[in-house]
Structure 1
Amino acid sequence: MHESTVTSKGQTTLPRDIRAVLGLHPGDRVRYVILNGEVRLLKSRPVNDLEGLLRRRGSDPVTLATMEEVTAEAGADEGRGV
């Protein structure tokens, strides 16, 4: 278990092992998530870092036109009780 002390200004130093696990470097930002009385610490990631996150190897990107076509077909099927 790792601990650190909170200063009078509410600051603390993250232990080296914690920084390593999160991949934190000087200047990185962290996010605090409160769940059921516990706090989880996450490394913040800019939105640009999420590009390609859901990409699968060997599959082509789906165009907006294809998405609209599939959505329209699904809506039509639902209207027919399919």
Structure 2
Amino acid sequence: MDIALPIITLVVGLIGGFFIGVYYLRKQMTSMQNDPEMLQKVAKQMGYNLNSKQMQRAQQMMKNQNMGGRGPAGGKGPKRKSK
């Protein structure tokens, strides 16, 4: 029992931390989508300088991802019909 309790506590903490992190990240992505200045700031921190056309494209991609559509960033592209 002296070994099991700390291990169980660690696992529960990791799972809880993961879900809290996912929630926080989604919230930040949603606010970034609505605030182009914040998106530009993040892009500059990553070493990119986005022009207005690239900024609009990035916002559109984020909007599509939030609506349930999966673009290239989602890992799956549009389904193709096989012959």
TM-score category (smaller protein): under 0.3
Greater share of residues in strand: 1
Name the TM-score, length of structure 2 as normaliser. Answer: 0.26
Greater share of residues in helix: 2
Name the TM-score, length of structure 1 as normaliser. Answer: 0.26
For the pair shown, the structure with the greater C-alpha radius of gyration is 1
